[in-house]
Structure 1
């Protein structure tokens, strides 16, 4: 039998208070900013919005992973528009990753979600992914090589920022003292480079710090990483068969 196709309708109170996917995502980001990712739950989000969890799932999909994907998309929204790309594909990539890191520093508790959990993957990331792929195309990197280049860039920049903003120890003073004791006890004969550089590496390098990037950002290290990746891709683009 024929008939009009039924469409889902928002749950009563959710519709009455004007609940939208955008409102849910914005409130979720604010909760994570305030309390951290580990403390976040759909139930608490529902209480904050004064709706049942079912209303949230109705708007964002059938699982918490769907919400996390939307959160990542919300944090990364408007990172760079097509109108803001540079005439030089290398400058586009530098600018994009600088913006990405700045955005993560503004939302440090979201960084582990984007960098370490596949549930952050999905269509909400499409705008910045397209910009990277277009820049690589301009640099003469196509097909499988473009995919490998994309993975190298995103893995390097996102991984760096995720590590940089990793959780700091509860007692920074105790950790600092313990780290100094253990590092200063190392043998210069066995670890000549580490013992010589440790005074300058203290709290300025991975493995030798007690504060995360929110308090002690690793600016120059990130700049070297991005520049090295882009310079390497640029060198490949100049090989025979490439345009760049």
Structure 2
């Protein structure tokens, strides 16, 4: 594709640039991502991108916001109970991570302060306060939830986006208790395992509220 010269209209906007960047990282990975490579994909001069997004850090934030928008899609039909909102959000987040395993590390390693991210948190904490949970439990809940989601999904996706399996066998002589528990750690990366872990997080939030 012939590259447009700097200053010539390329029909670009922030959303189109971010979407193209997500496609590029999905294909080639973050380690190969750069503004020049993105400009080549779009057929523009790199300065055309900088006209809309000021630097690589801002571009990474725009990519994060683009995939988080997928999580928020359909939010008008989401439940209103705080536990149901948490489950709905968590499963949508998981599905997004599996669609974009190479983009996902951005969400786990960079502060997410975009309007779409803050709107999701506002919806969750508002439902918690309306249900009567104490403010300290509500304030701690987003970190508990996304600490779990980001850590768990990074661990699962590090082996590939389609990894679902059992934990490796453990030497029962050296580690007898761990070996005994291994059969209960089945379905690594599965929806069933995800729900078990999410139940534990929700239980922790409820316990904080009860205290």
Q: TM-score range by the shorter chain?
A: 0.7 to 0.9
Larger radius of gyration: 1
Gaps of 5+ in 1: 1-10, 173-178, 206-216, 240-244
Aligned length, in residue pairs? 199
2:71 is paired with a residue whose SS is: coil
1:122 and 2:94 are equivalent in the alignment: no
Map of 2:3 onto structure 1: none
Map of 1:175 onto structure 2: none
| CA positional deviation for 1:29 | 0.5
TM-score using structure 2 length: 0.81
Cα pair 1:36 1:109 within 8 Å, conserved:
yes
Map of 2:64 onto structure 1: 72
Cα pair 1:33 1:108 within 8 Å, conserved:
yes
Q: 1:140 to 1:60 in 2, by over 3 A?
A: farther
1:139 and 2:111 are equivalent in the alignment: no
Q: 1:200 to 1:134 in 2, by over 3 A?
A: closer
Q: 1:236 to 1:143 in 2, by over 3 A?
A: closer
Distance (Å, rounded) in 1 between the aligned partners of 2:113 and 2:39: 24
Q: Deviations over 1:184-236 (max 9, x none)?
A: 6x3x333113334557758x44xxxxxxxxxxx33222101211211332343
Map of 2:194 onto structure 1: 222
1:12 and 2:7 are equivalent in the alignment: yes
| CA positional deviation for 1:27 | 0.4
Map of 1:176 onto structure 2: none
Distance (Å, rounded) in 2 between the aligned partners of 1:58 and 1:192: 61
TM-score using structure 1 length: 0.71
| CA positional deviation for 1:86 | 1.6
Q: What pairs up with 1:20-31 in 2 under 5 angstroms?
A: 20-31=13-24
1:37 and 2:60 are equivalent in the alignment: no
Q: What pairs up with 1:134-173 in 2 under 5 angstroms?
A: 134-167=126-159
Distance (Å, rounded) in 2 between the aligned partners of 1:24 and 1:142: 42
Instruction: Please tell me the root mean square deviation across aligned C-alpha atoms, in Å.
Output: 2.6
Distance (Å, rounded) in 2 between the aligned partners of 1:155 and 1:139: 23
Cα pair 1:139 1:234 within 8 Å, conserved:
no
2:174 pairs, out of 190, 208, 215, with 190
Cα pair 2:129 2:135 within 8 Å, conserved:
no
Q: Deviations over 1:137-176 (max 9, x none)?
A: 23333544322121111111222112111145xxx9xxxx
Gaps of 5+ in 2: 1-5
